[in-house]
Amino acid sequence: MEAAHITVAITGASGAVFGRELLRALEEDERVSRVHFVASENSLRVMAEELEFSGRTNLLEKLLGAAPTKTVLLSDDDIGAPIASGSHPSSGMIILPCSMGTLAAIANGLANSLIARAADVTLKERRPLLLCVRETPFNRIHLRNMTLAVETGAIIFPVIPAFYNRPIDSTEMACQFVYRVLAHFGLPQPGAYVWKAEE
């Protein structure tokens, strides 16, 4: 695989720890040369609740726990960012967690923010788009939008973590979920739990 350029978005669904662990795994992965990262305005509200961060100041450093080496933070308002164009090389996009609002925008082609536009571009260029949706329960609009997105080429990869690996805390649960996401994206991770049923 060529050095990957991956777009990551965190939106305002619950599960910011999953997005944080995704960014950390990609920073560590030598097969990845660039991560373009966009946080929706509403994700900041959820991060404040769940990760106890406030505001955008040093957001990347706070998420990564260190200075970024390959991750670039883009503004969700910047519709002129490189990832807004299909001419920009990209290996695909992961939205983790993906809110029902962002799912709706993508499924209906609104392209009204950098996240929605980059997802739209990912679909039109036939690149992988993983929407790690999170809501419970789903209403019929959510289900319809998921179907619409899948029909256009997106992969619905819901934030439904595994329990058979007996995670000791939410970070381990998020890490193992992220490893599944990355394996699906063609970037299998060495620390991934592999189920071995007793013979």
Ligand X SMILES: Cc1cc2nc3c(=O)[nH]c(=O)nc-3n(C[C@H](O)[C@H](O)[C@H](O)COP(=O)(O)O)c2cc1C
Residue 76 C-beta: closest distance to ligand X, Å: 8
Q: DSSP of 52-98, one letter per residue?
A: ---SSTTHHHHHHSS--SSEEEE-TT-TTSGGGSTTS--SEEEEEEE
Binding flag, residue 101, ligand X (CB under 6 A): yes
2/52 with CB nearer ligand X: 52
Instruction: Quote the CA–CA distance of 179 and 183 in Å, as a whole number.
Output: 6
Binding flag, residue 77, ligand X (CB under 6 A): no
14/75 with CB nearer ligand X: 14
16/178 with CB nearer ligand X: 16
DSSP lists the bridge partners of residue 6 as 35, 92
Beta strand pairing status for 71-74 and 4-10? unpaired
**Interface map 129-168 toward ligand X (x if CB under 6 A):** -----xx---------------------------------
Residues that bind ligand X (CB under 6 A): 11-14, 40, 42-43, 45-46, 49, 99-102, 134-135
